[in-house]
Amino acid sequence: MANNHREYYIEIPRQLTPEQQQMMIELEKDAFPGLGAVDEQTLVPIARYGKLIWYKRTGDERPVAVCECLRDFTQPEKVYIFGYYVRSDQSGKGLGSAFLKEVLDELRKDGFKKVTLTVSESNVAAVKLYEKCGFTQVEFRQHEFGEEEHRLYMEKEL
């Protein structure tokens, strides 16, 4: 578990400086090696029109964890977690679970009724985390992000 929960806090940037954009690109590459990280063309709209949530630790300029959210326009009470990760040098400290609980509280405050996400079935740690936090597997989506990039689709009622 996180040593002292008060050291950690949520930050929600509404825009990103060029330096923050570069930092996010580096964090994404670290979190999702070989899968192609998001770039400025994705990050800027997520921060401005979606919801970018950083989990920060006092004294650390870089987020220790990141969540990127998009509203579902066909069902506006539903939010899709586009990206969720803990920095590799911070993994194994219980931050994923602590951060996800705070993210879900934040989304509940925003009025969302359902949270959805997709995750690679081979990412066992992430699947376990989501299940532990109340997400259920709804379907298996073949080739969701390209050839042989299958994903589990998971949902949680808020």
Span 5-157 CATH architecture: 3-Layer(aba) Sandwich (3.40)
Short-list 86, 90, 84, 91, CA closest to 156: 84
pTM higher than 0.75, yes or no?
A: yes
Per-residue pLDDT reduced to its tens digit, 46-84: 999 999 999 999 999 999 999 999 999 999 999 999 999
Using CA atoms, how far apart are residues 66 and 83, in angstroms rounded to an integer? 7
Walk across the sheet containing 114-119 and list its strands. Answer: 8-11, 51-57, 65-71, 78-86, 114-119, 151-157, 136-141
Residue 4 pLDDT class (50, 70, 90 cuts)? low
Q: What average pLDDT does the structure give for the chain?
A: 91
Query: Looking at residues 102-113, what average pLDDT do you find?
Result: 97
pLDDT at residue number 3: 47
Query: What pLDDT does residue 41 have?
Result: 81
